[in-house]
Structure 1
Amino acid sequence: MQAADDIQATQTHLTQIASETSIAQAKANSSLKEVQLLEERVEEVKLQYKINQRHLEDTTSAVNQAALKSQRAANDAKGLEDDYRAVAEQLEIKSRAAEEARNRAEELKKQANKLASEALAKLDMLKESFVGRPGSAVGFLRRAVRRGNLGRANNKISLQ
């Protein structure tokens, strides 16, 4: 009977080993599935990292382009500001020149009026002096005043 007891103990032991092996096999399979899931998750994370990296590069590029455009716009604005100042200065210079020309024209007009008045006074004096003489200087002066040739008329009268 000892042999039957030994066989029975061995069978019990083998059953226990088979049971433990089955449990270990199930744990190993479960662990293998977890490892596979982790590997898949790692691949997903790697893919997401690459996508994020590409987005970061795109964003960096967009920021750099925006900075360049901003710098160009600032340079353009500075150029326009400089152009505006130059035009404003030229306008101021031309405005002063126009004002001076207007003042000079006004002064010349006053001088012309004064000369015309003096010429008319001289004409009246000559008229009184030469009234009734044929080919008198009065007619000549009137023609000269109408034509604006008073200088030549004065020279011609003084020669007569």
Structure 2
Amino acid sequence: MSGAPAFTIRDATGADWPAIWPFFHEIVAAGETYAYPRDVGEQGARAIWMVAPPGRTVVAVDRDDGTVLGSASMYANRMGPGAHVASASFMVDPAHGRQGIGRALGEHMIAWARASGYRAIQFNAVVQTNAPAVALWRSLGFEIIGTVPEAFDHPALGYVGLHVMHRRL
């Protein structure tokens, strides 16, 4: 791919949810990368993903036909005295992987967090065995500040660790 990416990132709307739900469901049901209930229903998933302001949900869409390729949900990691640290979750439709969508969503989230006045970003639960995600976040300046042993029950690997990853802004 040369030049501009074949996708753009914009705020998600309620009309985008029917396009997000199929890949959200596929990824979560696989049980390998998210600490969400594998059998979460559509309404519960929507409540998790489509965050209200001041949080933000975005979609990466194909520039030509508007197909939703991925999404990110971003928000304060905690309330009150911890609200100066951002967090986020990211999903790319597996049918559209390895096109730079996850990286672009990550870069977009970092820029949003910085512009919104956050001092840092913390990911609370990056599955230790999710090597592509760990590599991506490290390449974007995150470091593993700790690993909770056996905190994630992987369907094939059994109990594996969850990394806490952090990046100062």
Instruction: Calculate the TM-score normalised by the size of structure 1.
Output: 0.20
> Which structure shows the bigger proportion of residues in strand conformation?
2
User: Hey, which of these two has a bigger chunk of helix by percent?
Assistant: 1
Q: Return the structure number with greater relative CO, CA threshold 8 A, min gap 6.
A: 2
TM-score (norm 2): 0.19
Structure number with greater Rg is 1
